[in-house]
Amino acid sequence: MAYRLVQLELSQPIPAIPLAPEEDGVGLVARHEGRLVGFRMLPRPAGEGLSAEAVRAVCDAEFALPLAAIRARQTLADRWDLAPASPAPSLSIAICTKDRAARLARLLRSLEAVRGGSSFAGLEILVVDNAPSDESTREAVEAFPDVRYLREPKAGLDFARNAALAAATGDLLAFLDDDVVVDAGWLGGLLRAWRACPNAGGFTGLVLPFRLDTEAQVAFESRGGFGRGFAPFEFRTERHGPLHPVGAGVLGAGCNMCFDRRLLLSLGGFDEALDTGAPLPGGGDLDIFYRVLRAGRTMRYEPAYAVYHEHRETLPQLTRQYWTWGLGFMAFLEKARRTDPELRPRHAAMLWWWMFDRLGAIGRSALKGRGQALGFAWAEFKGGLQGMVGEYDRSRRRVQRIREQAA
Amino acid sequence: MTNAPWRILDIDLAEGPRDVAADGSPHLLVLWWRSLPIGTLALARSELPFSAAQLADAAAPMLADQALARTTARYAGEDGAPQEPAGLDAAMSLDVLGQLDAVAPAPPPCADRLSVIVCTRDRPQQLAACLDSLATQAALPGQVVVVDNSGGGSAREICARPGVTYLHEPAPGLSRARNAGLAAARGDLLAFTDDDVELAPSWTQEVVRAFDDVSVDAVTGLVLPARLDTPAQRAFEIDLGGFTSRHFPIRFDSRFLEVTRHMGPQVWRIGAGANMAFRRSVFARLGGFDERLGAGASGCSEDSEFWYRILAAGGVCLYEPRAVVRHHHRSDWQGLRRQLRAYMAGHVAALVAQADRYGHRGNIRRIFRQLPVYFARKAMQAVQNLQGWRLRLLWAEVVGWAIGLTYLLRPRWRRIGRGSRSRSASPAATAEVRHA
């Protein structure tokens, strides 16, 4: 099972899309004059490509309206003379990585390709090498000019993120995971998000698939992946439901996020007891989104601020990812409940909502006999139950030991 | 949900960039491009101030959609929404703002052909506001008829003003009142509105313009909220979707009836009785409003049942959101629950009437399949989101549904309907005409 990932420029003649015999679908990334317009997963019988007419029909149905909206936004900005008034901020980009030099180099190359066109007042790239087992990451970074290398000996993603926070100098601090590459419009999209809402505390962006070569990757993306759509939105309102701001996960994912650096410093950075890798590899992004929102600052999602993420390759890896989602979410919720008593009714409501939602997913996939979906839903539910019974405390003790060992 | 009243703010995007300042209250922005309403935007207190750049982001998809809809006519498909995709070529070549500028000018200020019929029942203050908004129209209608459906004639004094024809129809029932009004109307275009509504100043001329298309038999328009002061008003407008929510024109024709026939044609999506108009000739062909339906009788849906007849006879209903009214929603929960109960009871009664009249079984299927599924799904959502208020509103709807079921078991009531297929509107014998 594999989908062919196609980049389609809508201002050019629409081509047919042939498929190799082992390919049984198309992931269509549509752009107009380079700007991202939309993404569609199109399942196909194996080896049966799409004619130009068929591609055209998909474009008519899916991309015409978003394209017209993008053009309308441009002409409106011209007519309103929405020229940037304030000077652009400076930006630090932090990549936290551990023993994945090849992927890191791939990401650095994609950044190298876009940094020349940056309109930010200043731009620095930091690589935080997190408790590495060899020198390969350092060597990979040395191949790139103007990339700072830092080493964080304490193992744990949020130790690494906090090291980046301590070293960064930009007004904004963007975080990237090492399993992504940035889109050509990534920097411009981030600047656009900042211009639309300069007082936002943070920004998240679109996450598209980097490749769809395995059953697990296709399954993950077909179930929605990390996708949050092609319309920008802000998260701070009652419209996002009575669960606000507990359900900040709809904002996006930690693999592509950016914050006002001074706000992060005033919040004390990331919670190092989350995102520790095994056994609690998650929750840190939810926690920081929540704390930014609780500090009274908005967060903005911007589709043009896009990355491509290398999804889990095998089904066991993917199942484990769903398990970590449940686990990380519940660890975060337990922490929020403990540290923010004022919002306890909302935490309880969120717990109820989540139980309802997950049990519903389990029930639906069981009734419909969808074994794979049932496996994913069950894994996430199991992770959640495990997160509820003291995982956050266990993780705090582990992190304390790591700190003591390092000291 | 906070309890502070919301502010409703109209913004004409054609006038240039605009920052919306924070003033401590949540806002409902009503966005316009000159005469074109293009959308609404709810902003919580924490979302303000709202910059011009943010406004441009939010408005761009609405403007694009509006320009496309004003380029190619849209026909209603299964859920009342247009089914035809816009097309890449149109999206690529369209000059969005140029197209909006081209279609935005107001029509000529002439509404002599129009008779406006306002039915009222014991709401003198709201009626006065409604009549004020009629008196300040850019184009005064040829005739204004107020039908007083109260027992004691409580609206008589309010109506003692120039240009208003007062009728008293003491027999209760909105359909009766509307039929009495249309019997007294002289214009060849007849517009209906309610006493709890205020009309936008261009309403009459926009209604008249919508009939420029000779194929159109009936016109409906946009119903905006007049106020969002109370949680009940906001629940109705924002959570339940209000009366009408689309901001582009849609044509409903017999195809719409066909594609939705299997599940009960979704005629209520055509519009709202508080903002509707007809060619007079339609009533000669199809009769008047069904007097078993509507407020004061079964509850509501006398309007949509009439649209049903128009579509079944091959006619066309046009939803044209440029004809704008502002409706005062029920301000307290009890009033809203009563309203929803009446709506659902009336809706079920209309389904029975439609099934009897045309033998379209989809109407009955909707009563026993779609509606229970809708109740169950909404109840699940309300439980998941811990929205007790939504459950209480839903219960009112379920009770209304049960009341509606009783019409199925009333053979006499149902026989009247079968007989009334060709019944024309007759002036009510008790109507008392007074030209003030």
CATH number, residue A234: 3.90.550.10
Task: Please write the tens of the pLDDT for every residue from A318-372.
Answer: 999 999 999 999 999 999 999 999 999 889 999 999 999 999 999 999 999 999 9
A122 with A234: CB under 8 angstroms? Answer: no
Tokens standing for residue B389: 């208020």
A154 with A131: CB under 8 angstroms? Answer: yes
User: What local confidence, expressed as pLDDT, does residue A277 receive?
Assistant: 73
Amino acid found at B169? E
Task: Please write the tens of the pLDDT for every residue from A11-58.
Answer: 999 999 999 999 999 999 999 999 999 999 999 999 999 999 999 999
Q: Are A123 and A217 in a shared domain? A: yes
- Number of structural domains chain B divides into: 3
Which residues lie closer than 8 Å to B123 by C-beta, 6 or more apart?
A: B195, B196
Q: Are B92 and B149 in a shared domain? A: no
User: What local confidence, expressed as pLDDT, does residue B416 receive?
Assistant: 76
Tokens standing for residue B268: 């209520």
Mutate one of A234, A352, A359 to test the B interface: name it (highest B CB count within 10 A).
Answer: A234
User: What local confidence, expressed as pLDDT, does residue B428 receive?
Assistant: 37
Residue that is last in its domain, among B103, B124, B139: B103
Q: B379: buried, middle or exposed (CB in 10 Å: 19+, 13-18, 0-12)?
A: middle
Which residues lie closer than 8 Å to B412 by C-beta, 6 or more apart?
A: none
Number of A/B CB contacts below 8 angstroms equals: 129
Report if residue B362 sits inside a domain: yes
* Domain hosting residue A387, numbered range: 317-406
Task: Give the side-chain half-sphere CA count within 13 A for B5.
Answer: 9
Task: Give the side-chain half-sphere CA count within 13 A for B3.
Answer: 1
Element (H, E) at B190: strand B189-194
Using CA atoms, how far apart are residues B145 and B140, in angstroms rounded to an integer? 13
Report if residue A398 sits inside a domain: yes
Q: Residue A356: how many CB atoms within 10 A of its CB?
A: 16
Using CA atoms, how far apart are residues B94 and B64, in angstroms rounded to an integer? 9
Residue that is last in its domain, among B289, B307, B329: B329
DSSP E strands in B104-183: the ranges are 111-120, 141-148, 164-168
Tokens standing for residue B284: 């000669």
Q: Are B401 and B416 in a shared domain? A: yes
A70 touches chain B (CB under 8 A): yes
Residue that is last in its domain, among B103, B124, B152: B103
Using CA atoms, how far apart are residues B251 and B240, in angstroms rounded to an integer? 23
Q: Are B90 and B127 in a shared domain? A: no
Query: Which residue of A80, A232, A352 is in closest CB contact with B17?
Result: A80
In chain B, what residues touch A61 (CB-CB under 8 Å)? Answer: 85
pLDDT surpassing 70 at residue A398: yes
Q: Quote the minimal CA–CA distance from B117 to chain A in Å.
A: 38
Report if residue A391 sits inside a domain: yes
Q: What are the pLDDT tens digits along chain B (436 aa)?
A: 457 899 999 999 999 999 999 998 999 999 999 999 999 998 888 788 888 988 999 999 999 999 999 998 888 887 777 777 778 999 999 999 999 999 999 898 899 999 999 999 999 999 999 999 999 999 999 999 999 999 999 999 999 999 999 999 999 999 999 999 999 999 999 999 999 999 999 999 999 999 999 999 999 999 999 999 999 999 999 889 888 879 999 999 999 999 888 888 999 999 999 999 999 999 999 999 999 998 888 888 999 999 999 999 999 999 999 999 999 999 999 999 999 999 999 999 999 999 999 999 999 999 999 999 999 999 999 999 888 999 999 999 999 999 999 999 998 888 876 654 434 333 333 333 333 3
**Strand A25-32 vs strand A35-43: parallel, antiparallel, or unpaired?**
antiparallel
In chain B, what residues touch A357 (CB-CB under 8 Å)? Answer: 384
In chain B, which residue's Cα lies nearest the Cα of A243? Answer: B385
Q: Are B253 and B398 in a shared domain? A: no
Report if residue B48 sits inside a domain: yes
Q: Are B180 and B276 in a shared domain? A: yes
Report if residue B372 sits inside a domain: yes
Q: B248: buried, middle or exposed (CB in 10 Å: 19+, 13-18, 0-12)?
A: buried
Q: Are B216 and B251 in a shared domain? A: yes
* Chain mean pLDDT for chain A: 92
- DSSP of B10-31, one letter per residue? EEEGGG---PBPP-SS-EEEEE
Mutate one of B88, B96, B99, B238 to test the A interface: name it (highest A CB count within 10 A).
Answer: B88
DSSP symbol at B83: -
Q: pTM (2 decimals)?
A: 0.91
In chain B, which residue's Cα lies nearest the Cα of A195? Answer: B53
In chain B, which residue's Cα lies nearest the Cα of A59? Answer: B88
Q: Residue A386: how many CB atoms within 10 A of its CB?
A: 17
Q: Are A274 and A383 in a shared domain? A: no
Element (H, E) at A359: helix A344-367
Band (pLDDT 50/70/90 cuts) for residue A276 is: confident
Q: Are B357 and B253 in a shared domain? A: no
Q: Are B352 and B226 in a shared domain? A: no
User: What local confidence, expressed as pLDDT, does residue B249 receive?
Assistant: 95
A349 touches chain B (CB under 8 A): yes
B433 touches chain A (CB under 8 A): no
Q: Residue B406: how many CB atoms within 10 A of its CB?
A: 14
Report if residue B426 sits inside a domain: no
Q: Quote the minimal CA–CA distance from B308 to chain A in Å.
A: 30
User: What local confidence, expressed as pLDDT, does residue B418 receive?
Assistant: 60
Report if residue A140 sits inside a domain: yes
User: What local confidence, expressed as pLDDT, does residue B431 receive?
Assistant: 37
Q: Are A281 and A331 in a shared domain? A: no
Using CA atoms, how far apart are residues B147 and B179, in angstroms rounded to an integer? 10
Name the phi and psi angles at B248, rounded to 5.
-125, 155
B16 touches chain A (CB under 8 A): yes
| CATH code of the domain containing B227 | 3.90.550.10
Q: Are B191 and B144 in a shared domain? A: yes
Q: Are B230 and B338 in a shared domain? A: no
Task: Give the side-chain half-sphere CA count within 13 A for B333.
Answer: 10
Closest CA to A355 of A385, A316, A332: A385
Closest CA to A221 of A211, A206, A232: A211
B295 with B224: CB under 8 angstroms? Answer: no
pLDDT surpassing 80 at residue A240: no
Q: How far is CA A150 from CA A51, A98, A257, A308, B405, in A?
A: 50, 12, 20, 24, 73
Q: Are A122 and A63 in a shared domain? A: no
Q: Are A98 and A197 in a shared domain? A: yes
Buried b / exposed e over B385-398, threshold 16 CB at 10 Å, is ebbebbeebbebbb
Report if residue B430 sits inside a domain: no
* Domain hosting residue B66, numbered range: 7-103
In the block, residue with structure tokens 């109820």 = A352
The predicted model gives A50-79 an average pLDDT of 93
Closest CA to B170 of B120, B235, B222: B120
Which residues lie closer than 8 Å to B380 by C-beta, 6 or more apart?
A: none
Using CA atoms, how far apart are residues A392 and B2, in angstroms rounded to an integer? 33
Q: Are A257 and A324 in a shared domain? A: no
Q: Are B256 and B121 in a shared domain? A: yes
Q: Are A282 and A340 in a shared domain? A: no
DSSP symbol at B75: B
User: What local confidence, expressed as pLDDT, does residue B263 receive?
Assistant: 87
Mutate one of B68, B89, B386 to test the A interface: name it (highest A CB count within 10 A).
Answer: B386
Q: Residue B72: how many CB atoms within 10 A of its CB?
A: 12
Report if residue B20 sits inside a domain: yes
Q: Are A338 and A392 in a shared domain? A: yes
Report if residue A100 sits inside a domain: yes
Closest CA to A354 of B386, B375, B376, B373: B386
A221 with A309: CB under 8 angstroms? Answer: no
Q: Are A291 and A400 in a shared domain? A: no
Report if residue A300 sits inside a domain: yes
Report if residue A151 sits inside a domain: yes
- Number of structural domains chain A divides into: 3
Residue that is last in its domain, among A276, A298, A313: A313
Report if residue A304 sits inside a domain: yes
Residue that is last in its domain, among A255, A280, A313: A313
Report if residue B428 sits inside a domain: no
In the block, residue with structure tokens 């939309």 = A38
Contact flag B85-A60 (C-beta cutoff 8 Å): yes
pLDDT: is B82 or A170 the higher one?
Answer: A170
Q: Are A126 and A240 in a shared domain? A: yes
Report if residue B180 sits inside a domain: yes
Report if residue A85 sits inside a domain: no
A197 touches chain B (CB under 8 A): yes
Buried b / exposed e over B308-337, threshold 16 CB at 10 Å, is bbbbbeebbbbbbbbbbbbbbbbeebeebb
Amino acid found at A247? G
Task: Please write the tens of the pLDDT for every residue from B48-75.
Answer: 888 898 899 999 999 999 999 999 888 8
Amino acid found at B114? L
Q: Which of residues 385-404 of B touch A (CB under 8 A)?
A: 385-387
Q: Are B234 and B141 in a shared domain? A: yes
Q: Are A178 and A256 in a shared domain? A: yes
Q: Quote the minimal CA–CA distance from B301 to chain A in Å.
A: 30
Q: Are A111 and A206 in a shared domain? A: yes
Q: Residue A406: how many CB atoms within 10 A of its CB?
A: 12
Contact flag A11-B92 (C-beta cutoff 8 Å): yes
Residue that is last in its domain, among A49, A80, A111: A80
Using CA atoms, how far apart are residues B39 and B47, in angstroms rounded to an integer? 18
Closest CA to B196 of B137, B136, B132, B126: B126
In chain A, what residues touch B96 (CB-CB under 8 Å)? Answer: 68, 71-72, 75
Give the SS3 label for residue B41. Answer: strand
Contact flag A60-B13 (C-beta cutoff 8 Å): no
Contact flag B53-A79 (C-beta cutoff 8 Å): no
